[in-house]
Amino acid sequence: MSENHNPAEGRRVAIRAYTPADAEEFTTRARESRELHSPWLFPPTDARTYAAYAGLLIDDPTKAGFLVCERGDGSGPAGPIAGFININNIVIGAFRCGALGYGAFAHAAGRGLMAEGLDLVLRYAFGPLGLHRLEANIQPGNEGSLALVRRAGFRLEGFSPDFLLIDGAWRDHERWAVMAEMVGEKP
């Protein structure tokens, strides 16, 4: 994604690539959001772990990382970081699929900003990235995450016990997916 630093803008948010310069704001917001995120996810909360995390999203062609930023006055994507949406495990060829990971920061939670950001990421994934399918694996009790994918048009495809190792334990997950044709985009 590095060739297109600001891939999409919506009415209230824009999505853009991670940069090393985002470390301070991202980690501060992650620390402020620990209660919101626990026990579901653990984004980096210090400069060292942010550098490693963002570096993978910037340099690894099997990943595309997006910061969801408030537009504020509508003048551009330079506003506060509201959250993040990453496409991991991107496979091209006949599969053309990726797995989503995401999180809102506490100051932006419940305001619909992540829904708008996810819509922009879906359009980017099914347009310029040329993907056909995106998957989201969500722990059953994570109501906020489940509501986000439902609103975006994902469908429940199954249940996987002990699917991901999170915070030292294997966690059950529901498997949700959306295809390009389900959101009106054709690669």
Rg, Å, the chain Cα set: 15
Q: pLDDT tens digit string along 151-179? A: 999 999 999 999 999 888 999 999 999 99
SS3 per residue for 109-156: CCCCHHHHHHHHHHHHHHCCCCCCEEEEEECCCCHHHHHHHHHCCCEE
Task: State pTM to two decimals.
Answer: 0.90
Say if residue 18's pLDDT is above 50: yes
Q: pLDDT tens digit string along 37-96? A: 888 889 999 999 999 999 988 889 999 999 999 986 655 456 899 999 999 999 999 999
Long-range contacts of 31-36 (CB under 8 A, 24+ apart): 32/105, 32/106, 32/107, 33/103, 33/104, 33/105, 33/106, 33/109, 35/106, 36/104, 36/105, 36/106, 36/109
Which CATH class for the 8-183 domain?
alpha beta
Q: What is the mean pLDDT of residues 136-150?
A: 95
Domain residues of the chain, as ranges? 8-183
